[in-house]
Amino acid sequence: MRVDGALQARGSDSARIRFSDGEKIEFTAKSDGWNEQTKSGCILEYVTLGNVNIVSDTHLKITNLSPAGGYSTVEAKSLVLLDSNFARHVSAGGDSIIQNNTLNVFTITDGSPVITNNNIETIYGSGNSPMISNNTLGSIGHYIHDSNGNPEYTYLNVNSVSISNNVITKGVYVIANFDATISSNEITGFSDEYTFITTKRYTTFGIILKGDGHIIGNTITGCASGISGGTVIEENLLLNTIDHGITVLDRGNVVVRNNNITNSKVGICCDDCETLTIENNFVCNQSFRGLSVHSPATIQNNTIRRTEEAINLYNCPSATARYNNLESYSNNSIVLGGTSGNINTINNWWGTTDTQTINSTIYDNKYEFDIGKVTFVPILNEPNPQATPTSEPIIPELLTWFAIPLIVVLAVVVVFFRKKLRNKPAT
CATH number of the domain that residue 326 is part of:
2.160.20
Whether the pLDDT of residue 408 is over 80: the answer is no
User: Does any domain span residue 206?
Assistant: yes
The answer to whether residue 45 sits within a structural domain is no
Given pLDDT bands bounded at 50, 70 and 90, which one contains residue 149?
A: low
Q: Higher model confidence: residue 426 or residue 64?
A: 64
**Which residues have C-beta within 8 Å of that of residue 141, sequence separation ≥ 6?**
123, 124, 153, 154, 155, 156, 171, 172, 173, 174, 208
**In the structure, what pLDDT confidence band is assigned to residue 152 with cuts at 50, 70 and 90?**
confident
* Residue 348 resides in a domain: yes
318-to-211, 312, 313, 336 alpha-carbon distances in Å: 25, 13, 9, 11
pLDDT band at 298 (very low <50, low <70, confident <90, very high): very high
Out of 24-38, 264-278, 335-349, 392-406, least confident range: 392-406
Q: CA end-to-end span of the chain, whole Å?
A: 99
CA distance 385 to 341: 29
Q: What is the pLDDT of residue 147?
A: 65
Question: Could you give the angle at the alpha carbon of 48 between the alpha carbons of 99 and 78, nearest 5°?
Answer: 40
The answer, yes or no, to whether residue 247 has pLDDT greater than 90, is: yes
Q: What value does the mean pLDDT of the chain take? A: 87
Q: Which residues of 114-135 are buried (b: 16+ CB within 10 A; e: fewer)?
A: ebbebebbbbbbbbbbbebbeb
- Is 421 part of any domain? no
What's the pTM value of the predicted model, to 2 decimals? 0.87
The band of 4, judged by pLDDT with boundaries at 50, 70 and 90, is: very high
What is the per-residue pLDDT for 201?
53
Least confident segment among 178-182, 317-321, 386-390 = 386-390
Query: Considering the domain boundaries, does residue 44 fall inside one?
Result: no
Tell whether 8 is covered by a domain.
no
The 10s digit of each residue's pLDDT in 410-425 is: 333 333 444 443 444 4
Has residue 355 got a pLDDT over 80? yes
Number of structural domains the chain divides into: 1
> Does residue 141 form part of some domain?
yes
Whether residue 35 lies inside any domain: the answer is no
Which residue range forms the structural domain that includes residue 377? 70-410
